[in-house]
């Protein structure tokens, strides 16, 4: 699991494991996915990607 540093320093130490994100072009949002089950977990409210979550390739 990713470890956070001091509160308020604005960055994460390491990436979030067992997660990936992909861009949905229909609603222009980023969607987080569990890499073990493939199930969609969360969707961003704005058009910026999730912090610390790797992006899926293969568009």
| CA separation for the pair 29, 39 (Å, rounded) | 16
In a domain? residue 5: no
In a domain? residue 7: no
Strand 3-4 versus strand 29-34 pairing type = unpaired
What string of pLDDT tens digits covers the 59 residues of the chain? 666 667 777 777 777 889 999 999 999 999 999 999 999 999 999 999 998 899 998 55
In a domain? residue 42: yes
pLDDT of residue 1: 61
Query: Which range marks the domain in which residue 40 is found?
Result: 15-55
pLDDT of residue 32: 96
| CA separation for the pair 4, 26 (Å, rounded) | 33
pLDDT of residue 40: 95
pLDDT of residue 16: 82
pLDDT of residue 52: 86
Let me know if 22 is exposed, middle or buried by CB neighbors in 10 A (0-12, 13-18, 19+).
middle
Continuous segment of H or E residues that includes residue 21 = strand 19-24
């Amino acid at each position: 699991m990713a470890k956070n540093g001091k509160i308020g320093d604005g960055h994460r130490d390491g990436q979030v494991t067992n997660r990936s994100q992909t861009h949905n072009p229909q609603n222009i949002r980023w969607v987080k996915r569990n890499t073990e089950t493939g199930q969609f977990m969360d969707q961003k409210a704005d058009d910026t990607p999730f912090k610390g979550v790797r992006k899926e390739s293969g568009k």
